[in-house]
Amino acid sequence: MSEQSIEYLKTNFGINPDIFEELAILKIGNEVYIMNKDAISFKQLKTCHRGIKLAQLFSHSIRLSTGAVQLFGKFATKNTIQLNYAEAIMFAQGKEIIPRNKPIPNIDGLVIAQYKQFPIGIGNYKEGKLKSMITRSQVLRFGWRKRKTKYKGALPL
């Protein structure tokens, strides 16, 4: 199954599989992790998981993680979309955007969103709209959250 993830990256995004030669790929449940080959035999500490989450496997598709896209997305040669500054901010906030002057012919599905060649994350491009697939815990948030406190002079957390 881990080879399935690498083949998916090659087929859908044009990422050369040779990039992953020096790395170990480990499938745990329906998740695929990528790590240094030495980490796969590291058993001195009990850990939740090792490495960086590469993808999550579903019966009908594969969903790349934001971390994997940001790490390996620079090697993508197809299914990428360049965003301007305002679009990149909105995308990083997890919003759906309509990229201006950027029609992508013959693409309906997952694309790597980039700003100045830096991969931001994965998005679903359909009917001229790009929906951010950045997880809620990783979306870019602006401003302070204001909380009421019963203590005068206390800082809101």
Taking the C-alpha atoms of residue 43 and residue 41, their distance in angstroms, rounded to an integer, is: 6
What is the pLDDT confidence band of residue 98, given thresholds at 50, 70 and 90? confident
- The total number of residues shown for the chain amounts to 157
pLDDT digits (tens, 9 = 90+) for 28-49: 889 888 888 776 666 665 656 6
Which fold is adopted by the domain 2-72?
Nuclear Transport Factor 2; Chain: A, (3.10.450)
Phi-psi region at 94: left, alpha or beta (left = phi > 0; alpha = psi -120 to 50): left
Helix (H) or strand (E) holding 24: strand 23-28
What is the pLDDT confidence band of residue 99, given thresholds at 50, 70 and 90? confident
For the chain, which residues make up each domain, given as ranges? Answer: 2-72, 79-138
Taking the C-alpha atoms of residue 2 and residue 51, their distance in angstroms, rounded to an integer, is: 14
**Same CATH topology for 2-72 and 79-138?**
yes
79-138 placed in CATH 1.10.240.10: no
